[in-house]
Amino acid sequence: MRFDASRTIFSLAVAALVSAQVAFASPVGDRAHYDLDRNPSRTSSMIMSGKVDVTVDAYVPGHKSGPAYESSMAYDFNVQMVGRKQGSQKVMVPAEYFSPEFMKNLRANGSFIGPDFKVRHEGFVDARTMDGNFYPHCDKILIYDVKTFSAEGGLFSVARDILSMAAESRLGTRQDVENLQVRAAIYEGVPVLGAVKLDVSGIVSGFNVKAGGDFKAGAGEE
C-alpha cells in the first residue's frame, strides 16, 4: 500500500478541526433556569419567592471589550413590602468564560484576576439541588472584588438588582450594593456557565443581604 503523506496530513488536520469544534461547541441557544431557595441560610427573609432564566442569545466577536456572548437574564421576584418585580436585562459575557480552558486554568492556578472581578477556586463539593438531582465533585468558586457590577448591562447587574430590592423592603429606598460576592458550584455539562448552585451576597447601608438559588434541569427548555 502506497503511503500518501499529503492525504494523511490533510486527514489529521480535518480531524483536529472537527475535534476543536466539538470541544468548543457554541453555547448560543443554551438556557438555564434557577429557582430561589428560601432556606434562611441562603436567602434573606424579605425575599418571598424568585426565579431567574438565563439564555445565551448571540456571539459578538467584535464587542468593544473583546469577543463576548450576548445573554438575556430574566427575573421574577416577590419581595416583602416591595411587591412583585419582573425584568429582563441583556448582559455581555466574555467568550473566554465559556471555554473549558477557563476552568482548567482556574483549577491549576487557584485564582483568576480580571479587569472587573476576581475568582478564587475553593476546591470541590458534591451538590444536590432542590429538584433532587445530584451533581458530584463540582468546582466550588468565589467571585469577589467586583468593580463594575453597577454598570448598565454588567455581568452582575441582575444580582445587584435582586439584593437592592431585598434591602429596599427594610430600608424603604434602594441603595447601592457593596462587597458583592457570588459563590457557585460548577458542573460540566450544565448549560450556560455550568452553575448548579448560585449564592449572591452583599451589603446595603450596613445591612447584609443574600439570595441563593438552584439550577432546575429541563425548566425553560423548548
Give the chain's mean pLDDT.
Answer: 85
Q: What is the pLDDT of residue 17?
A: 38
**Is residue 177 within 8 Å of residue 202, measured between CB atoms?**
yes
Sign of CA dihedral 209, 214, 219, 222: positive
Give the span between the Cα atoms of 174 and 167, in whole angstroms.
7
Write the pLDDT tens digit of every residue in 82-104: 889 898 989 889 999 999 999 99
Q: What is the pLDDT of residue 207?
A: 86
Q: What is the pLDDT of residue 11?
A: 43
Give the span between the Cα atoms of 40 and 43, in whole angstroms.
5
Q: What is the pLDDT of residue 160?
A: 83
Q: The whole model's pTM is what?
A: 0.82
| Domain segments of the chain as ranges | 26-215
Q: How confident is the model at residue 15 (pLDDT cuts 50, 70, 90)?
A: very low
Give the span between the Cα atoms of 181 and 8, in whole angstroms.
51
Whether pLDDT at 37 is above 60 = yes
Write the pLDDT tens digit of every residue in 162-197: 888 888 777 777 778 889 999 999 999 999 999 999
**What average pLDDT does the segment 200-207 reach?**
89
**What average pLDDT does the segment 92-118 reach?**
93
